[in-house]
């Protein structure tokens, strides 16, 4: 369970880091059209060199994060 949590939190941090990078880039270039949400961040990650591999790693991490939260909720329901 703790492995799922660690992998999930790292993947979530990477996804939010990409979003933060997009926001910083939009602020630096003074172009609000360049800021985007998680969907655009994942599209830009996909278009990067080695993007499909990075996208797969982030996807697996987010699945681990979801599985951890389901397990946590299940445990809290029983307690």
CA distance 35 to 20: 9
What share of the chain in percent tops pLDDT 90? Answer: 3
Angle at Cα 48 formed by Cα 44 and Cα 16, nearest 5°? Answer: 45
Find, among 62, 76, 72, 56, the residue nearest to 7 by Cα: 62
pLDDT, residue 41, reads 73
pLDDT 10s digits, 31-71: 676 666 777 777 877 888 888 887 888 788 888 888 988 98
pTM of the predicted model as reported, rounded to 2 decimal places: 0.64
């Amino acid at each position: 369970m703790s492995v799922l949590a660690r992998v999930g939190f790292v993947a979530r941090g990477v996804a939010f880091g990409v979003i933060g990078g997009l926001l910083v880039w939009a602020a630096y270039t003074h172009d609000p059209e360049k800021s985007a949400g998680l969907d655009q961040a994942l599209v830009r990650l996909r278009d990067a060199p080695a993007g499909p591999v990075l996208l797969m790693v982030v996807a697996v991490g987010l699945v681990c994060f979801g599985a951890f939260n389901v397990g946590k909720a299940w445990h809290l329901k029983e307690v």
